[in-house]
Structure formats: C-alpha cells, structure tokens
Amino acid sequence: MIQSVARAARILHELGSGSPTLGVTEIGARLDLAKPTVHGLLRTLEQCGLVSQDVATGRYSLGPGVLQLGNAYLAGSELRARSMLRAAGLARQVNEAVWVSVLVDDTVMVVHHEFRPDDAVQILEVGATVPWHACALGNAIVANLSEAEVDGLLAHPLRALTGRTRTQPEAVRKALATAQDRGFAIENQEANVGDGGIAAPVYDHSGRAVGSLGVVGPAERLLARQARTSLSRAVVETARAVSRDLGASRAKQPGLSHAGPPRRAD
C-alpha cells in the first residue's frame, strides 16, 4: 500500500463526492494531512490532468483527465460490451428503459443505459450510483455474494432514500433471500418515489455475479401484476444470455461458487 498514491486517490474521491471545488486547507482538514503534503499531491495530479486549479480562486476541482479515464473504462468494460446488444433487444421487446450495473463498494453504478424506445427525451444515467440496498440492480448482485460479504455490507447503517427504503438488516436479508429464490429482484420506490425496477444478476465465466441488468421506470407500470411476470421473465432471460456470452456455463449460474452454505436457487 503506497501511501502517497492512496492519499492522492483519497483526494480525488473527496473532490468527486460533495463539493465540486475544494481548497488545500479544506482537503487537509478532511483527510487529516498537512497543508504542504496536500499541495504537493495536488500539483502532481494537476500536471497529470486529473485535477485542475481555478486560477482565480486557487481552489481545486477534478480535471478533464478523469472523464477520459471514465470513458476508457466504459470502452474496455467487457460486461458493458457484451450486454449492449442484448440490452437494446430487451428495451425494444418490453418497451422500457434498461440499465446494466456493477457493484462498487456499497453502491451500484450504471455502466450502460438503454433508453425506453417510446420516450423522446430522457437523461443518460451512465455513471450514476445508487445505494445497493435501495435498488433491484443492487439486490440482484448482493444476493449472490458470500455470507461474509453480505455481512460486511450490512455492517454499515442503511440510508433511507424514500419512505419505502428498507433500512432494517433483517428486512434486507429477507429481500435478498427471495431475490435469490426467484432469480431476480424487485424494487418498489425504494430509491426514488414513483420509480421501480426489476433486475437479474449477470455471471462471468467463474460463476461470480459481476453485475446485474434490469428494467427501470414508473412503479405502477412496471410492477402491475401482469406486467411484472412478463418483465421479470424477459429480464432473467436477457441476463442469462449475457452471462452465457461472458462464458458462464449453465451449471454455474445459480451462484454456488462461493464459500458458505448457499441458499437453494430452485
């Protein structure tokens, strides 16, 4: 663990979350570092294009280089590449917006966003993040993690985004169990009021759940009784297809690859 690099990364993270512009002193206070230390790190990061300094105020913010890197990540993401075609097909089939996501720390990040064919104007949500416990995409992934990893995630308190967000570890565990049983997860206005989602996990060649894929949209439309069954079937089928493209064998798909007694999938 190289500390100067780790500190630089923490600075980037700090610049990325919360205030979009920070001063040297402010960063030093937040990370408990001396002013000159932060200064040196910032200067280096600036020369690499990862941060930029406002010449007028002297404050620092993220630089354009990080966007280039983010784009390169998307371009190189195998999950994204393999799921784009099938996500487009799913969106056309069910006429809903489709998201493909990855779990990073305790949040789910959207790596691909296929628009709902009918809607003219929608905002692109690639790069957006949602707490894992408040969305179907997150539950679909976490339901396939090992007990230890789930425990680790549930150790932190669960933030409530809406009145319907599950914040009790027990309630979340129950949701994970049913998601694991059914093979897909359902979310009903737990992240945004009015919005819901249905998502299924995507496995790679080793059987690990590397991400998830699902539909998002108005809860009344997606979660109506008859829509729900056809949607969930289509979502699961698409996720299976992507998993197959990633090299997952059919046998590995139920997520039995991790230590600990797995819940039975069917």
CB of 48 to DNA, least distance (A): 13
32 or 266: CB nearest DNA = 32
| In contact, 97 and 122? CB cutoff 8 Å | yes
Q: Where are the beta strands (DSSP E) in the chain?
A: 51-53, 60-62, 97-104, 107-114, 129-131, 185-188, 195-203, 209-218
199 or 219: CB nearest a copy of itself = 199
**Pairwise CA distance, residues 20 & 29, whole Å:** 16
**DSSP classification of residue 206:** T
Residues 124-163: x/- map of binding to a copy of itself (CB under 8 A)? x-xxxx----------------------------------
119 or 220: CB nearest a copy of itself = 119
* Interacting partner of 119 out of a copy of itself, DNA, none (Cβ under 5 to 8 A depending on kind): none
* Interacting partner of 10 out of DNA, a copy of itself, none (Cβ under 5 to 8 A depending on kind): a copy of itself
Residue where the block lists tokens 């990040």: 109
Rounded to 10 degrees, the C-alpha dihedral 125/126/131/136 comes to 80
9 or 256: CB nearest DNA = 9
35 or 159: CB nearest DNA = 35
Say whether residue 7 binds DNA (CB under 7 A).
yes
CB of 39 to a copy of itself, least distance (A): 10
Helix 24-31 vs helix 3-16: crossing angle, to nearest 10: 110
CB of 87 to a copy of itself, least distance (A): 13
**HSE-CB for 104 with a 13 A CA cutoff:** 9
Q: Among 10, 12, 14, 26, which residue interacts with DNA (rule: CB under 7 A)?
A: 26
- The 8 Å CB, 24+ separation contacts for 42-49 are 42/11, 44/8, 45/8, 45/11, 45/12
CB atoms within 10 A of CB 225: 6
Say whether residue 75 binds a copy of itself (CB under 8 A).
yes
27 or 219: CB nearest a copy of itself = 27
* Interacting partner of 16 out of a copy of itself, DNA, none (Cβ under 5 to 8 A depending on kind): a copy of itself
- The residue ranges that bind DNA (CB under 7 A) are 2-5, 7, 23-26, 33-37, 39-43, 53, 56, 58-59
